[in-house]
Amino acid sequence: MRNRFTHPFSELPDVLPVFPLPGAVILPNGQLPLNIFEDRYLNMVFDAMASSRLIGMVQPKGEAQSQHPELHETGCAGRIVSFSETRDNRLLIILAGVCRFDISDEVEMKNGYRRIQASWGRFAHDLDTQESGLDAAEIIASAKRFTESRNLSVDWSALDHLQPPELIDTLASSLPFSPEEKQGLVEAVVMGDRAELLRALCEFGAATPEDGSPVSH
């Protein structure tokens, strides 16, 4: 089931604050924890909390360390569903995925953070609450082979309660794929394509160690 915080399509804003962060993506059925400490992004979170609670996660292109990197054209909006402040003035938030967007244009910055004109139409189906009918068994098997090949510890029992769309989007955003691979998952238009790409990335990663050489059998 989709989370109860999903916005109706008519309520999605035209202008969206964006957080360009390489390797950090959210998908419509997933969640993303974030540790916010830069002043401009603290401003962004406080402003979002006072309005729609929506933040757009979008990956930068090329040199991500520059102050104003070029952005990929497609990202995903998440709604702040958990918010806490720390003693050292950081914010710990969790975003729940809502809907992907294409960037139509970039608009004037606000309080130090970037904002974009969002086009939601291509991904209106992200708001569909119907189950996809996907069988996640093969994807779980592939993901387990991938994590074992990387010696990653995963509490698979914590994922047992997830429906296939939630499981797919959780794995897609949390497994250690490259930024380019994660962008491919964000841009896979329909869930079936995303599920197949996720499975393929897991199988390729399981067969190829981190140094890029094939696994010997």
SS3 annotation, the chain: CCCCCCCCHHHCCCEEEEEECCCCCCCCCCEEEEEECCHHHHHHHHHHHCCCCEEEEECECCCCCCCCCCECCEEEEEEEEEEEECCCCCEEEEEEEEEEEEEEEEEEEECCEEEEEEECHHHHHHHCCCCCCCCCHHHHHHHHHHHHHCCCCCCHHHHCCCCHHHHHHHHHHHCCCCHHHHHHHHHCCCHHHHHHHHHHHHHHHHHCCCCCCCCCC
- Tens of pLDDT, residues 68-103: 889 999 999 999 999 999 999 999 999 999 999 999
Least confident of 105-109, 111-115, 134-138, 206-210: 206-210
pTM for the model: 0.88
Q: What pLDDT sits at residue 67?
A: 74
Q: What backbone torsions phi and psi does residue 209 show, to the nearest 5 degrees?
A: -65, 170
pLDDT value, residue 131: 58
Which of these CATH numbers, 3.40.50.1100, 3.30.10.20, 2.30.130.40, 1.20.1300.10, describes 9-127? 2.30.130.40
Each residue's pLDDT tens digit, 143-165: 999 999 999 998 899 888 888 99
The pLDDT tens digits for 34-75 are 999 999 999 999 999 999 999 999 999 976 567 788 999 999
pLDDT for residue 38: 95
